[in-house]
Structures are given as C-alpha cells and as structure tokens.
Structure 1
Amino acid sequence: MFKAIQDPVWGYTEIPEKFLKIIDTPDFQRLHWIRQLGMCYLVYPGAVHTRFQHSLGTMALADQIARKLETKYPTEVTFAALLHDIGHFPLSHSFEDFFQDKFHVNHEENGREMILGKKGTGEIRECLESNDIDPEVVTRILSGGHREFKLESEIVSGPLDADEMDYLVRDSYFTGTGNIAFSIKRMVDILRTDGEKIFIEEKGITSVESILLSRNLMHKSVYFHKTVRIAQKMIERAMDSLDKVDSSMMDMHDDIFLNYLRNQDSSSDMIRQIDRRNLYKVVYRDSAPDIRNPEIESKIHEKYPELIVDYVPPYAYQDRKKSKNEVLVKQGRKFMEISSLSPLINSLYDSFNRRYITIYGPQKLQIRQEEIRSLLD
C-alpha cells in the first residue's frame, strides 16, 4: 500500500504506508507550520514552503540514492532522511543560536530526542518499532560519526547529500530565482561508493561544479539577502529583549512564535515594525576581519545602542564542511578532494567565505560613515 502525492518539484511521488504512519503523527505534522526559509518571504513572496515539504522531498531522494548505491540499510536511511528536520525550532535555522544559548540544544539534538521518544508524543518511536526499525540506528545515521552507518549518514548529510539537493532545487523553485544549474538525475547517476564513502569519478567533476555554483548563488541571492538578514536581526533583537524565556518556545509554530513576540511588551514594537515593513536600513558595510572581535560590537552598542551588527556569511559558517568542496574524486586507485582538481570550486569557496560586516539602524537614524569607521579602527 502507498499514497501518491504530487510534489511541485519532483512530481508524482509514491510514499509507502510504513512512512505514512510517521508523517501522520502530530510531531511530524507540526512541520507544516515551519517555513523552510524563515523570513525570506519578505523578499520572495513565494518562499512560504515548509519543512514538511522539504522532508518528503529529502526522503524521496535519499531512497533513490540508497537504491542506486545498494546500501545495507536502505529503509533505515530513508526513515532518517524523512526525520532529519523533525526537531526544527520556529523560523528554521534563523534563530538556532538563540535556542542553543538559552536551552543548550540545537535542532539535531532536539530531533534525536523526539525520534527516541524522550520528547514529543512518542509516536515516532512507536511507528519505527512497529516497522522493525531501531530508533537508535536512525539517530546514529543522522548524527554521523558511526563507522557502521557512514555511507547512510553521507546519503542524508554529506558532501553530496539528499538534503541539500532537495532544498537547493525547492528553494530556487519557490523563490523564483532560477539559480539551479544542475540536474538531479545526473547527480544521482554519478554517485559511486566503496561500501563506506561516497565518491565520483573524474568525469563527474563538472556536475559537482554545477551544484556548488548553484549553492553559492542561492546563498548570495536568497539565504543572505540583505533584507532577509535585517528582518532576522530585528527579530533577534526582539528575542534578546524578552524578560523571560520558556522552553515551550522551541515547540511553537512560526506564526505562534511571532505572535508571542508581538504580544510581549519588550518585543512588540520591533515585531510590529516588521509587520509594517518599517525595516532597518544599512548604515555601514565593509570587509570583515578573519576573526570576530566582540570588542568592536561592544564599542558600537555603547555609543549607538539602536544599531545592529551583522556578519555575512556568519562566522559559524567558517567550519561547515568547507562549503562542500571535500567531495572525493577517484583517480585510478587513489582518492583526491575535488578542490585539488577544480580551480572553479576553489574560487567558489573563496567567494563564499568573503565576509562582510554590515551595520543596520532605524530608518530615521542619521549617522555618518566616518563615525562608524572610527569605532572599527
């Protein structure tokens, strides 16, 4: 038994009954109300697609890759792909740091707790066990680092994974940017494995260059768009002003979370400015140092408390898998990182890591560039 859905990105997709049981749980249905791209809809009105849609797409792609590579645990990896975002907080990645700081948990850890039945309704664990799937195996695949499940982990989250392939295509489609320069069918086709790791042959380099180019374009035009960053930073300022934070905030839907902020005395003004699209403006922008210096922010906030300091890309991205440029290429009997074979990929990596400090302030604020620059020197 299966149910067919018509996915706007992948078209006609069949979902077997064993996965439907998890999809129908309240914990998974919550993903209907978590937008994939947070506040990006302020710039791209079509960007209101959800973590629910993305999770189904990732599951379908992971299933294709698992069958192509003939993994030992094809069902487990497909369940892991379906559940890889189950622990997401409101507004997706935008405020991960806030929840990490306040509650010492990220969305991956939160998701593992839900899969193991330690949080949420516990129905996800029950559904897995009813299909003879060990929830511990699913969490090991998602966490990576387990040699036995290394290949399965790479299928969900690795140099060339189902997660990124789905969200790049899906995000480009719903934003209408047309930034995707690669073929999913071709990407799946070039994947190879030795039973432990995923690699490509030399003839597949141009396809990987295409996906990394698409990734670079999406970050610059969508994920790190100036207006999106401003809205996110304004919400961060609103969240930081809260007198009290409660762990129940982690389980809220996007709109419930924003409404909660809208109705708190300390944060309501900032959220209502966003509602009226009275967004902050860029008052200063320049190259950022390689290492973050908190003293700079302290000096700026001391003199101009209304200003917001932002770094794009954030420093947290500095150590994230080298922008995927560690894809393995097989040459004869040896493996090499693709970055040693492709000047284009090295250029994309350098471009992605070109960091800027941007400072935002209220629309009515009058401030000279020289005043800001003097505080940065």
Structure 2
Amino acid sequence: MEVRDPVHGPIQILNEEIPIIEHPFFQRLRKVKQLGLSEYIFPGATHTRYLHSLGVMRVGMRVFDRLFATNTAKAATATKGFQRIRETFKLAALLHDLGHAPLSHSTEIAMPMLSKLGIHLLKDRQATHEDYTIKAITDSSFSDSLEKVQKKFGVHRSAIAALISGTNSDPSYFSFGKGNIDYFPLLHQLISSEMDCDRMDYLLRDSYFCGVSYGNFEIDWIIDNLDPCIIDGRAYLGIGERAVSSFDDFLLARYHMFLMVYFHYRSVCLEQLLFKYLDSCNQEYAIPANIEEYQKHDDYFLIDILKKSKNIYADKILKNNIPPKIFESFGHDELGILKKLEHYLKQQEIDYIRSSSQGRLSKYYRSQESRATEVLKLKVIKFLPKSKIYIDIDRATDLFSKFSETHRIERIHCDLRKVSPFDKKQIMNMIDEKKALYSKYTTPSQRRR
C-alpha cells in the first residue's frame, strides 16, 4: 500500500500494517485537524493528525535507516531482534498521536482522572492525550489490529507504548548487536525530544499548509549527519559537528513558528473561548473514560455539540467571533499595566479574555529548573584524527545562551463597544500608559506621529 504525501512524497505501508491504518481508532485522526481552530486564521491549515502521523512514520524510517547504515550495523539488520526493534519504532512514530483530543490540546481539560481510565499510579492526576494513546495501544479493540505485526516481527504492544512514554521496564527488548547495546534512549529521543521526528514533520507540514516559510529547515542535511553515540552500553542521539548550524536553524524555525503561527493572537483567543466553554457548559461536553467510546470523539463530534449548545462561548467559536485585542505585552516592563487593566475589568465586572502564551527555544532549560523527569540531551560528535568525542549540544552552540529567557506574550481581549463611556475612558487611559513607558526611547518627531 502506498500513500501520497504532499510533504514527503510516497509513503510505503506494509501489508501487516494495513489493519492498523484502517482501524476506526486510527481513522479517527482523519477528522482531527493538526492545528485545531487555526484554519480560521490560516485557511489552508485543514491538514489532519492522520496525515501528520504517516509523515512522522516516514521521517522516522529515514532517520532510523540512516542511524543503522554503517557496516557494523548492517551486519545486525538481518537478525530478528533488529527487525523487531525497527518495526516497534516505526509503529511508535505512527501511533504517537493516536489518543489526541478533538480540536486542540485545550479539550484535555475535559478528560477524566487517570484512575477512571484504568491506569493506576501512586498519585492520581488528570489524564492527557498521551495516556489515551497508551491505553488504546495496550488495552482496547485497537490492540487487535497489531496482531499481524506481532506475528511477523515479534513486536510487543508494551514496547511501542514504552517508546512513546519514555518509561521502559525491559532493556533487553531494545538491545542488540556487538556489546548488546541498549538503543532505547536513542529511539525514545526520536519519538520525543529536542529534535524528534514529530517536530521534523510538523514544522515542515504546518508551514506548507499555513502558507508560511518560518518552519522550513534542512531536513536532509540534518538526517545525513545523525549518528548513534554509544556511552556505557547505551545509545544516544548524536549529530555531527558540521551540522550544528543546521540544528540551530531547526530550533529557530520552531521558535518562529510558535511566535508567528501557533501563538497568533486569534488562534490563542479562540482556544481561550474553548476553555471558557468547557468550563461553563455543565458537562455538555466531556471526554469519556471508556476508551471504546472515545473513538467517536473527533472535531466533527465536538463541533456538532457546539452547534446544538445555547452556551454563548460555543456560538462565538462557531462564528469566529473573538473580542478585539486591546492590550498586548511582550516583556516584563508592561506586565504592571496589564495587571492593573485586568484588575479594573474584574472590578467593574466587564467581560474580557486574557491569554498567556509562552515558549522557550529549548526544553533543556526546563529540565535544569525541574529535575522531575530526565531530559536526554542531543550529543554533538567531534571527529578527531583517530577517534571521536561527544559533548552536550548546549556546549557546541551559543544559541541556547542567547535565547535562554522564556518568551512570553500576554494579551487582553475586550469589546469596548459594550462598556460605558466612563469605563472606556478609564481603560484607554491605562492602555495609553504603555506609550508613556516607551516615550524615553523615542524622538520628539516620533512622539508627534
């Protein structure tokens, strides 16, 4: 079976994988848009998580085959253990978004507690789309679709789930070759890390369908310079020193996509309207704990509920009717004015929406601030005349230090046509304080303009 993808070209599907692709749970992703409500702003952004998932699988196979293209690795490719690991990784890439909620990440607040999903941890918490992904792979009717790949390759459902979650209880499953190297860290990095196959696909795909160029990067050059780094019997993802500048471009591409596309003020405001709807709809919409019932929860299912709803926020979402943006803050200097403005709106009981968008160039900084989970850093390979050494990526480029601060955008939306003349004047006076804040940086002629 072959799928034609506008971003990566032809994508081959094995016969044993067809039942997986054709299962209703995976087909559900045809009706879950990759960028949710962003099509209101970027009309071309109607692409789905179905096509994105196939794209991640395609990128994953390109990267995997590159990493194991050396003569030493080729000797192991004929073994059953290698083929099992390859297929396990391929399916983890394909299924990484299987449990994604309708429209956007916003709807995850309508998910039940983890215990109700049948997943028990020491400390209960609200479920996420990743939990639904793991549940679908390991314990649902979808699990039966994996039967043919299990028989041919010996794939374990739990191993697919482990690569997605990052928690592996069986190191021997991902070990093979001379020295019995454990490849789990490397393969998990390709599923979820600073430079994973998910990001490699969605940056190019979202740019293509949004009609922008911010997310473009040298994917061929990056893949050609990836290599395994073997440290203490475990394999990690490494990139050749000569491709570090391309990695910098990759990071900046993602950074700019967040600023210009994912953090677009209209998209963010629509998500806030969805939050307000879910918070005020009295369980009109809730994501079920029953994994089989979840199969019918796609964008169209939720939109149909919004159409039938009498909730004011549902109507605003459907009509793309967001209140005007009256204040926007890009730095700490303006936060005082924003808080003062918000306090006044609350005090006068004026309806408004506040949104907060924040992102960093790299998740490595978050790992330094919170050690709750291990973040596996990309290694840079420095080739010496008769050897090679590995260093952490943040020691090979100064991009991290230049962009170490969290980029935060705060916005307030409010329809000033619906407020009294007195309140409008007070609000405008507070907004004008922003001009005064920067008056010392402008010339007299600029101030007159």
TM-score normalised according to structure 2 size? 0.73
Q: Pick which of 47-56 and 194-203 moved more.
A: 194-203
Counterpart amino acid of residue 329 in structure 1: V
1:237 aligns with: 276
Is 2:357–2:410's contact at 8 Å kept on the other side of the alignment?
Answer: yes
Residues 270, 320 of structure 2: 8 Å contact kept: no
Pair 1:187–1:365, CA change in 2 (3 A):
farther
Match of 2:318 among 275, 279, 291: 275
- What is the correspondence of 1:344-359 to structure 2 with a 5 Å cutoff? 344-350=399-405, 353-359=406-412
Structure showing greater Rg: 2
Equivalent residue runs for 1:250-329 within 5 Å: 251=295, 252-265=297-310, 267=311, 269-287=312-330, 301=346, 303-304=348-349, 306-313=351-358, 320-322=363-365, 326-329=377-380
Give the corresponding residue for 2:221: 186
SS in 2 for 1:111: helix
**1:255-274, Cα deviation, whole Å (9 max, x unpaired):** 22022133223x2x222223
CA shift for structure 1 position 289: 5.8
Moved more, 336-345 or 353-362: 336-345
The one-letter code sitting in structure 2 at the alignment partner of 1:357 is E
1:86 and 1:358, CA in 2 relative to 1: closer, same or farther beyond 3 A?
same
- The Cα shift of 1:322 comes to 4.2
Residue 342 of structure 1 corresponds to: 397
Superposition deviation, residue 15 in structure 1: 1.6
Task: Specify whether residues 127 and 97 from structure 1 end up closer, same or farther in structure 2 by C-alpha distance, changes over 3 A only.
Answer: farther
Aligned residues of 1:55 and 1:82 also touching (Cα < 8 A): yes
Once the two structures are TM-superposed, the CA of residue 156 in structure 1 deviates from its matched residue by 1.5
Q: Could you report, residue by residue, the CA deviation over 1:160-189 in whole angstroms, capped at 9, with x for unpaired residues?
A: 211110000000000010223422211111
Select between 123-132 and 254-263 the one with higher mean Cα deviation.
123-132
Query: CA 1:96–1:127 in structure 2 vs 1: closer, same or farther (change >3 Å)?
Result: farther
Q: Aligned pair in 2 of structure 1 residues 171, 227: CA closer, same or farther (>3 Å)?
A: same
Please state whether the residue corresponding to 2:111 is helix, strand or coil. helix
What is the aligned partner in structure 1 of residue 192 from structure 2? 157
Q: For each residue in 1:83-110, what CA deviation from the matched residue of structure 2 results, as whole angstroms up to 9, or x when unmatched? A: 0000100013243345378981101111
1:192 Cα deviation from its structure 2 partner: 1.0
Q: Within 2, Cα distance between the matches of 1:162 and 1:173?
A: 17
Q: CA deviation at 1:234?
A: 1.0
> With structure 1 as the length reference, what TM-score do the two structures score?
0.85
Amino acid aligned to 1:307: Y
* Aligned residue identity for 1:123: D
Asked if 2 retains the 8 angstrom alpha-carbon contact of 1:114 and 1:124, the reply is no
Shift in CA distance, 238/305, structure 1 to aligned 2, threshold 3 Å: farther
Residues 1:29 and 1:372: Cα distance change in structure 2 (over 3 Å): same
Q: Percent identity?
A: 25
State the alpha-carbon separation in 2 of the partners of residues 203 and 172 from structure 1.
26
> Is it true that 1:246 corresponds to 2:286 in the alignment?
yes
Equivalent residues of 1:209, 1:345 under 8 A apart? no
Structure 2 Cα separation of the partners of residues 84 and 28 of structure 1: 11
Counterpart Cα distance in 1 of 2:193 and 2:298: 28
2:2 is paired with a residue whose SS is: strand
Whether the aligned pair in 2 keeps the contact of 1:339 and 1:345 (CA below 8 Å) is yes
In the TM superposition, what whole-angstrom CA distance separates every residue of 1:8-52 from its partner, at most 9, and x where no partner exists?
Answer: 001122221122220000000000000000111011100000000
Structure 2 gaps of 5+ residues are 74-81, 117-125, 172-181, 367-374, 434-449
Question: 1-side partners of 2:127 and 2:362: how far apart?
Answer: 19
Residue identity matched to 1:107: H
Quote the Cα distance in structure 2 between the aligned partners of 1:115 and 1:338.
33
Unaligned runs of 5+ in 1: none
